[in-house]
Copies of this chain bind each other. A is one copy, B any other.
Amino acid sequence: MTKTVAVVSGGMDSVTLAYHLADIGHELHLISFDYGQRHKKELAFAKKAGDALDAPHTVVDLSNITSLVAKSALTSDAPVPDGHYAEDTMRQTVVPNRNAIMLNIATGLAVTIGADNIATGVHAGDHYIYPDCRPEFVSTLETMLRVANEGFCSPDFHVLAPFVTITKGDICALGDKIGVPWLDTWSCYKGGDTHCGSCGTCFERREAFAEASVDDPTPYLATPEYVDPRV
């Protein structure tokens, strides 16, 4: 049985990733990162996924490196931008080199427990704003990790990114098919008790369900129409 360390934030993409890998027979170990983000609430949802899938769940506290990323709206007192993940408004939520940092730590865990793969839920919709969510990133990372851990990991060690060429809507359709409990996933950056419905990640969540023609069971505080701020 192939063994995989999956990075799971508790959002719909990464929870679907975990359910998908379990569905195709992987033995899972989930890893989440607490980097002082406002959507810390997500972590409880990552734990739920681990419990449901009978997978160990490790939380790595990276809040000590937030001083490095003080420019990020995710971890600063700057207001979280409303609206869509359009390049200009959302670039400020990028923590520099974030995915690479998380996936390298996930690899440290993978090598320690003898896992064959790490997995990430990055998807095609992320490409426009996140350079570390592209297929080239996944392949160059895999190459580097095999070199860095030669003799300690399998020569076939893989960075799995099954969603890297599909959209969030496609992920939603897949998750619906395999029974992902959507109410046990969290997207809102604002971290309240209920999804706000208005922030960038809530818009993306709502759009994913709409695109997939899947009924969205999520309660939202508001469901404003999306207006492109650039128009």
Contacts and interface: CB of A to CB of B under 8 A. Distances in A.
A108 B136 contact: no
A68 B212 CA distance: 38
Contact of A99 (B111, B134, B148): B148
Contacts of A151: 131
Contacts of A69: 108, 112
Nearest to A102: B104
A94 B143 contact: no
Interface string A106-121: 0111111000000000
Interface in A157-198: none
Most buried by B among A67, A148, A150: A148
A211 interface: no
A219 interface: no
Interface stretch (A13-21, A45-53, A58-66, A201-209): A58-66
Nearest to A62: B64
Interface residue SS majority, chain A: helix
A147 interface: yes
Contacts of A148: 97, 99-100, 131-132, 137, 140-141
A61 B96 CA distance: 18
A131 B150 contact: yes
B97 A104 contact: yes
Interface residues of A, number: 43
A124 interface: no
B152 A144 contact: no
B111 A96 contact: yes
A64 B67 contact: no
A137 B151 CA distance: 13
A84 B163 CA distance: 47
A184 to B, nearest CB: 25
A95 interface: yes
B107 A152 contact: no
